[in-house]
Amino acid sequence: MKRIIALILALAAICVLLCSCGNMNVWGIGNYSFTHIHFTDMNEGHCAEVIQWYDNDNGIEVQTTEYGSLFLSEGSYIMFETGSRCPYCE
């Protein structure tokens, strides 16, 4: 019985460790290798090249080459890959 409990705890710990990986990993469902972002300041839109980004419950923190570090709330940005055209600027 102790071995079963230890096995369940070990599996739970592994799941927690794998879930805490960054957004730019290649594991899991979906593609997290976005390299460009279009965001708005409610007046006009801007496009930027993404160096790295991190997601949380309220939005994302993005480091860009053009604007430095930004915190963008949900609904004020769209991310896309290299080679894709910005759906708002193009």
**CB-count burial class (<10 Å; 0-12, 13-18, 19+) for 81:** exposed
> pTM above 0.85?
no
Using CA atoms, how far apart are residues 76 and 5, in angstroms rounded to an integer?
A: 45
Per-residue pLDDT of the chain (90 residues; tens, 9 = 90+): 889 888 898 888 887 666 655 444 445 555 667 888 999 888 888 888 899 898 888 889 999 999 999 999 988 898 888 676 777 777
